[in-house]
Structure 1
Amino acid sequence: MVTPETLSLNIPATKKPRVVIIGSGFGGVNLAKNLAGHEFQVVMFSKLNYFGFWPLLYQVATARLEPETIAEPIRKLFDKDYPDFHFRPVRVTNVDPAAKTVTTLVGELSYDYLVIATGTRTNYFGNDQVKQFAFPLKQVSDAVSLRSQLLQAFEQANMTSDPAIREQLLNVVVVGAGPTGVEMAGSIAEMRAHVLPEDYPGLDFSQMHIYLVEGLDRVLPPMSPVSSAHTHEDLEELGVIVKTNTLVENYDGQVVRLKNGEEIRARTLIWAAGVTGATVEGMPKETLERGRYVVNLFNQVQGYSDVFAIGDIALMRSEKWPNGHPGVAQPAIQQGVHLAKNLHRLRRNEKLEPFSYFDKGSLAITGRNRAVADLPGDKHLSGFMAWAAWLFVHIFYLIGFRSKLVVMANWVYRFFTYQSGTRVIISPFVRKDDVKTQEFMQRQQME
């Protein structure tokens, strides 16, 4: 029997400088790919054994893509061309920057250089009841659970004769109108218009309401007002009910209560309202600010020369970015590549080069031929051109030829048919407190 006591990290001893990377996201993977070679031993720790292409999570959640198309096994990314690279799918429980050690659930490891690339986690702003019943969208398992919830709700709505329960099952509330929330709301609206009426001809989908709730005064707050206005118009044309300057007060799994007193009956609430840094235990509190590690222009954590942070978990201020870089993939990718170069410079006793972020622009999509783009030089695109740019960029940055091919084939097929083949409930989702549904599902699965 395998127990934690029978496991160990089993990392070989080395005379090379050891770089320990915590996290397998855009920053960690790009750092390791540009670092692994003959000069360093590279060790990566992550709770997940895959690299996930998070910008497409919403397409898994709305049954447009299979989970495997946006996830690539870490071990597949680092083959024999990356000597002395070691991956361990374990959770880091503590770091000790004074002793220069990292502690995991199965053992401890010393390091010469530590890189924290843990990204973010969902922020519920202290609302534990919302946390209990809402659906986050931060990793593939979240997307699969949400897909099951949506498909089960449609099936149950098709089987109930109570119109109030049916409407509650069909209603969906998306909280947070950043890129994730906007894309999720638009995707569900397209399902309602083109897919669900064919799957459930007996249901009246005019009873299905999709709400997008945002606390600020416009959708897509990180993007330009021009793109925000275009997106708001697109969402309303798709039939999404947009509520800005509105906050969620509570949610009990049945009714969404807003701060203004309004109530929305819905069995599905998708939480895309905010994130906070996925910090690790052991780092001094003074290194943190607003849930992120304060770093200098070399990505060194404040007060340390051998501890680095990259990507969303890093707060790097500059004249152009006084509040740090945006929490998107590009800063993490660029910082990972740049830090690899600087670690090689450290190895050769050369002067470190400061990081400078090249902003390639921002994109968001709401549906077929509906997208917006903010480009360098204060240029803006909308409609088909922005949509085509979004498709190209996402295919380009997917890791792995198979993923690129499968996703592109899916999109081409769906462009002509609006259909997808992933509307299957493989792992039924049941809330932990829903005893009656648990009993029903158990009876369903009895031989």
Structure 2
Amino acid sequence: MLQINELSLNIPDTTKPRVVVIGGGFGGVNLIKNLPSKEFQVVLFDRQNYHGFWPLLYQVATAGLEADAIAEPLRKMFDEDYEDFHFRQVKVTGINPESKTISTLVGDLSYDYLVIATGTKSNYFGNDQIKEYSFPLKQIPDALNLRSHLLQSFEQANMIVNPQVRQSLLNIVIVGGGPTGVELAGSLAEMRRHVLPNDYPGMDFSKMNIYLVEGLDRVLPPMSPESSAKTLKYLQDVDIHVKLNTLVESYDGKTVTFKGGEQIQTQTLIWAAGVSGAQVKGLPPEASERGRYLVNPYNQITGYQDIFAIGDIAAMKTEKWPKGHPGVAQPAIQQGKHLAKNLRRLHRKEALEPFEYFDKGSLAIIGRNKAVADLPKNLHLSGFSAWVAWLFVHIYYLIGFRNKLVVLANWVYKFFTYENGTRLIIRPFLRKEDIAGQEFVKKQADLD
């Protein structure tokens, strides 16, 4: 096995300005695509070697799509057209503004311009127990773990004798009534109605309970009251138990307890309740607020001329957006493209231009023909028209022609057949304390 001291970043020297980008999400990818290799050397760092289309992550978790349908290798995205582009799959451990270097597990690298586009991570608000036992949904491994767990739960419920344990396997609690929670709940409701009864003809899936828990007084808080009200009706129409003004106090892997004392027996709690910025060590506390880096209209982090932040990690406060832009794809995409232009201006010693966000609206889908959309000019859509808009937008912004084709084909097939992908348990998911499950898997393997 290789030792860390046997590795190095192996980035070639250059006479061009070096732009180091941390994070291969929407912001980082769109920045790099608009930076000419003739003017800059670009180095991208990410802990994974692919760009993921996270708005469709919930469909991977519910077996509607395979993981490779929403991901594109970063090296494939920047091929021969980007001659001086260099990708390294390694975690950045620190920023050293004084020496203008970044540190990684395998060495340091100097930069002329540094762009932080690390996005967000799940925020458990200091509750370590929930962090240990709940299922986040931020990365593809999270979605695959959740999918395996859900399918295993249905398999076990089909064999279990104890009715209380069976019910705990069929109770699913989703915490967070934002787009992720709403769309996941809707997808699970469609599975319950159209898919699972065919897979498990002996089970009564009317007893499968899906709970959507939101701490505020409405679902989809970032969207308009009209869209929130319509979404609540859609959720109730497909028999999802929506609990508003409800906060989770604890979860031990078997019982979720809400503030106020109510409890639900469940072996599946999905955490979609909040995020915090995925910051990198090295910048002073005054450079950030609530986990996001404070940036000026040019995306420069407070106190620095050569360090930038874009996307969810950046808090650009304006009169219209006093808390910063919403944590969705569009601000990251637009900031990435705009910053690329400003870096070219910096290189040419031209004046920078401030960023102006064009809000293209927000969308959320609950199920077939059930969606909501808040569009510019105070236009609100719901039902079939919003559903079509959601499908078009998500296909359009997927990276890679193959991914667009695969996802579209899956959706068309599902529309006519109600079939929900290939429900394969490729890698079983077991919690450490699930001794019975581990013994069962081991005995199954021993029979091979």
TM-score (norm 1): 0.99
2: CA distance, partners of 1:239 / 1:420:
19
Aligned to 1:35: 35
The C-alpha deviation readout for 1:237-265, integer Å capped at 9, x for no partner, is 00000000000000011011011211111
Aligned to 2:408: 408
User: Is the contact made by 1:36 and 1:83 (CA closer than 8 Å) also made in structure 2?
Assistant: no
2: CA distance, partners of 1:201 / 1:3:
52
Question: Displacement of 1:319 after TM fit?
Answer: 1.3
For residues 285-300 of structure 1, the aligned pairs below 5 Å read 285-300=285-300
RMSD: 0.7
For residues 38-117 of structure 1, the aligned pairs below 5 Å read 38-117=38-117
Aligned to 1:218: 218
Q: Which amino acid aligns with 2:51?
A: F
Aligned to 1:195: 195
**SS in structure 2 at match of 1:35:** coil
Aligned to 1:353: 353
> Cα–Cα, structure 1 residues 341 and 434, in superposed 2: closer, same or farther, change >3 Å?
same
Aligned to 2:265: 265
Q: Which amino acid aligns with 1:106?
A: V
- Residues paired across the two proteins, number: 447
2: CA distance, partners of 1:190 / 1:261:
31
Q: Which amino acid aligns with 1:409?
A: A
For residues 28-427 of structure 1, the aligned pairs below 5 Å read 28-427=28-427
User: Is the contact made by 1:246 and 1:258 (CA closer than 8 Å) also made in structure 2?
Assistant: yes
Question: Displacement of 1:444 after TM fit?
Answer: 1.6
Question: Displacement of 1:437 after TM fit?
Answer: 1.7
Unpaired runs of 5+ in structure 2?
Answer: none
Question: Displacement of 1:441 after TM fit?
Answer: 1.4
2: CA distance, partners of 1:377 / 1:81:
39
Question: Displacement of 1:4 after TM fit?
Answer: 1.2
1: CA distance, partners of 2:166 / 2:129:
24
Sequence identity percentage: 69
User: Is the contact made by 1:36 and 1:85 (CA closer than 8 Å) also made in structure 2?
Assistant: no
User: Is the contact made by 1:52 and 1:71 (CA closer than 8 Å) also made in structure 2?
Assistant: yes
1: CA distance, partners of 2:294 / 2:45:
22
2: CA distance, partners of 1:408 / 1:426:
24
2: CA distance, partners of 1:22 / 1:439:
42
**SS in structure 2 at match of 1:250:** strand
Q: Which amino acid aligns with 1:350?
A: E
2: CA distance, partners of 1:343 / 1:134:
41
Aligned to 2:430: 430
Question: Displacement of 1:422 after TM fit?
Answer: 2.0
Question: Displacement of 1:436 after TM fit?
Answer: 2.7
Question: Displacement of 1:442 after TM fit?
Answer: 1.9
**SS in structure 1 at match of 2:103:** strand
Q: Which amino acid aligns with 1:443?
A: K
Question: Displaced runs of 4+ in structure 1, greater than 3 A?
Answer: none
Question: Displacement of 1:49 after TM fit?
Answer: 0.4
2: CA distance, partners of 1:17 / 1:360:
34
Q: Which amino acid aligns with 2:397?
A: Y
**SS in structure 2 at match of 1:159:** coil
TM-score (norm 2): 0.99
2: CA distance, partners of 1:445 / 1:333:
46
The C-alpha deviation readout for 1:160-209, integer Å capped at 9, x for no partner, is 12111111101100000000000000100110011000000000011110
User: Is the contact made by 2:21 and 2:28 (CA closer than 8 Å) also made in structure 1?
Assistant: yes
User: Is the contact made by 2:256 and 2:264 (CA closer than 8 Å) also made in structure 1?
Assistant: yes
2: CA distance, partners of 1:224 / 1:441:
47
User: Is the contact made by 1:169 and 1:266 (CA closer than 8 Å) also made in structure 2?
Assistant: yes
1: CA distance, partners of 2:34 / 2:439:
51
**SS in structure 2 at match of 1:371:** strand
User: Is the contact made by 2:191 and 2:420 (CA closer than 8 Å) also made in structure 1?
Assistant: no
